Amino acid sequence: MIPEIEQRSKLEIKEYQESKLRDLMVYLADKSNYYKRIFQQNEIDISGVRSLEDLKKLPITTKDDLQKFNNDFFCVDTSKIIDYVTTSGTTGKPVFFGLTDKDLDRLAYNEAISFACSGISDKDTVQLMTTIDRRFMAGLAYFLGARKLGAGIIRVGAGIPELQWDSIRKFKPTYLIAVPSFLLKLIEYAEKNNIDQNTSSVKGVICIGEQLRDQDFSPNVLSEKIKEKWDIELYSTYASTEMSTAFAECQFQQGGHHHPELIIVEILNDNNESVKKGEEGELVVTTLGVEAMPLLRFKTGDVVKAHYERCECGRNTLRLGPVVGRKKHMIKYKGTTIYPPAMYNLLNDFTEIKSYIIEIDNNEIGTDKITIKLGTNEFSEDLLSRLKDHFRAKLRVSPIIEFVSVQEINQLKYPNMGRKPVLFIDKREPVIN
């Protein structure tokens, strides 16, 4: 099931998106208090926005704008809202979103074509290993998407390896939806309880929240660790509440495919200009077909690189590589620029390390100070020196390394109300710009 538009020529895809963009401009000028005001303040004539190139005439929308003017973004009366969700708030105060009946249909369609992209069909059964509640959009999207596709679904939710294996044995799911590091916990449980994961019904996993690949799409350490013990296909998917759209990998696993019916993609530099093809920049999206809270040129905060060559699967749409990092989390260290995911990948290389947190602070001379807190019960001078060497060699940084109890790490890692583990704590003074 490949949507027809995704197989058309690049030009046809562009023209299709441009007609959707023109509809969106009319809709926003009529329904959105926020964008009405923005158009007025910037003297924007919406009839002048006809092509994707015209997008640059429009100001961008930031997370700050969403936080400050949250209610002004709603284009429908609250009586039309069916489901309320909030962003995960990994950076800053969470933002509320509402979805209308039509938005829920759009979300279902998005997830159905994303699942199909990763090879799931109506013959499959999917076990959902993430939360569906806690005002979390993704969990609901997985359920709706699987339903629309006609696949079976088992809603086990997050954690509890015992219940996960019990469900796998009872209902024989062919795919799982899970955070990849949780798969390591499942393997550990299987090994302790004489379950052979390799003869289970599971063929593949849709992996969320953590990266599986390096920028050249080769498997990263986490991915290799899983596949070493469990011979299954791992598919990346990238999405957010604000985008209400997923970028899912196909069987060729060369980045997340863009769905042109649902979203317009731009990749911009610090001056909000398009980067050259193939360069990394910040992902900026314009949602299409959203009724309650459509966004125009929303800056996601994620640094990505796009790939434009035609994919072997027959889709002509662009593909997004693994997120390089969050723009806000960029660390400047003695002339080197790094993002936390590169450090996570490196730490995952050490089996002795059970959990970790990376803390960034300003030091006395105003540059970034990196502290890595490690939870391990196997402290040794040898581990410390191997770690230091590894960081110097691979990333050209010398972080401060502190060993703490696994319990202390867990307290930092799972603060109250959190839906995702915290791996990165930023104590730097906010940059005013």
- Closest contact distance (angstroms) between CB of 256 and Zn ion is 10
Helix-helix angle 221-229:180-192, to 10 degrees: 30
- CA atoms of 375 and 354, how far apart (whole Å): 6
- CA-based torsion, 226, 230, 234, 238: positive or negative: negative
Q: End-to-end alpha-carbon separation of the chain, Å?
A: 46
* Residue whose CB is less far from Zn ion, 76 or 313: 313
* Residue whose CB is less far from Zn ion, 290 or 311: 311
- CA atoms of 177 and 145, how far apart (whole Å): 12
* Residue whose CB is less far from Zn ion, 128 or 262: 262
- Closest contact distance (angstroms) between CB of 234 and Zn ion is 16
Contacts of 136 (CB under 8 A, 6+ apart): 85, 88, 130, 419
* Residue whose CB is less far from Zn ion, 222 or 250: 250
Q: Which of 34, 31, 107, 29 is nearest to 67 (CA)?
A: 34
Contact pattern from residue 191 through residue 230 relative to Zn ion, giving x for each residue in contact according to CB under 5 A and a dash for the rest: ----------------------------------------
- Closest contact distance (angstroms) between CB of 205 and Zn ion is 18
* Residue whose CB is less far from Zn ion, 305 or 315: 315
Q: Which of residues 56-75 bind Zn ion (CB under 5 A)?
A: none
* Residue whose CB is less far from Zn ion, 313 or 383: 313
Q: How are strands ordered across the β-sheet holding 400-404?
A: 400-404, 368-375, 355-362, 424-426
- Closest contact distance (angstroms) between CB of 166 and Zn ion is 35
- CA atoms of 115 and 143, how far apart (whole Å): 11
- CA atoms of 344 and 374, how far apart (whole Å): 12
CB 65 within 8 A of CB 37: no
Cα 32 to Cα 28, 48, 51, distances in angstroms: 5, 18, 21
113 sits near Zn ion (criterion: CB under 5 A): no
- Closest contact distance (angstroms) between CB of 283 and Zn ion is 19
Cα 119 to Cα 11, 95, 205, 249, 429, distances in angstroms: 27, 33, 11, 9, 45
- CA atoms of 318 and 349, how far apart (whole Å): 31
- Closest contact distance (angstroms) between CB of 320 and Zn ion is 12
Query: How far does CA 159 lie from the centroid of its chain?
Result: 20
- Closest contact distance (angstroms) between CB of 181 and Zn ion is 26
**Residues binding Zn ion: number (CB under 5 A):** 5
Residue 413: strand, helix, or coil: helix
- Closest contact distance (angstroms) between CB of 235 and Zn ion is 11
Q: Which of residues 392-421 bind Zn ion (CB under 5 A)?
A: none
Structure tokens at 278: 């193939």
Q: Which of residues 236-295 bind Zn ion (CB under 5 A)?
A: 250, 252
Q: H or E segment at 228?
A: helix 221-229
- Closest contact distance (angstroms) between CB of 246 and Zn ion is 14
Q: H or E segment at 21?
A: helix 10-31
* Residue whose CB is less far from Zn ion, 145 or 256: 256
- Closest contact distance (angstroms) between CB of 31 and Zn ion is 35
Q: H or E segment at 152?
A: strand 152-155
Contacts of 105 (CB under 8 A, 6+ apart): none
Contact pattern from residue 305 through residue 344 relative to Zn ion, giving x for each residue in contact according to CB under 5 A and a dash for the rest: ------x-x-x-----------------------------
Instruction: Output phi, psi for 412, to 5 deg.
Output: -75, -35
- Closest contact distance (angstroms) between CB of 321 and Zn ion is 13
* Residue whose CB is less far from Zn ion, 263 or 357: 263
Which residues sit at the interface with Zn ion, rule CB under 5 A? 250, 252, 311, 313, 315
